[in-house]
């Protein structure tokens, strides 16, 4: 095995990864969860390392991190959209 053993995500890393899963810019993610942009970038970077995807191209890294975290049960599975009914 190369490198350190993979570690689970912290609660904050998991929360930031979930908030960023749609590929939104860091500033948007920061607004969503009420922390500075720099902290979002830092938490995502830490999560990428823990999930073993930090080496991937920037365009692929976030989606790969979400997939790996879901596969490992570190973040909840994606929920299907809830259908809304119009009021009669």
Contact (Cβ atoms closer than 8 angstroms) between residue 51 and residue 68: yes
pLDDT of residue 1: 37
52-78 average pLDDT score: 94
Considering only CA atoms, which of 38, 9, 44 is closest in space to residue 23?
Answer: 44
- Which residues are CB-neighbours of 57 under 8 A, at least 6 positions away? none
- The pLDDT score that the predictor gives to residue 32 is 96
Residues 6+ apart with CB under 8 A from 1: none
CA-CA distance, 40 to 46, in Å (whole number)? 10
Is the pLDDT score of 59 beyond 50? yes
């Amino acid at each position: 095995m190369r490198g350190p053993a993979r570690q689970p995500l912290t609660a904050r890393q998991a929360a930031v990864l979930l908030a960023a899963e749609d590929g939104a810019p860091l500033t948007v993610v920061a607004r969503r969860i009420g922390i500075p942009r720099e902290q979002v970038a830092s938490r995502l970077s830490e999560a990428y390392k823990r999930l073993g995807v930090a080496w991937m191209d920037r365009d692929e890294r976030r989606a790969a991190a979400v997939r790996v975290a879901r596969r490992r049960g570190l973040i909840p599975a994606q929920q299907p959209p809830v259908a809304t009914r119009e009021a009669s």
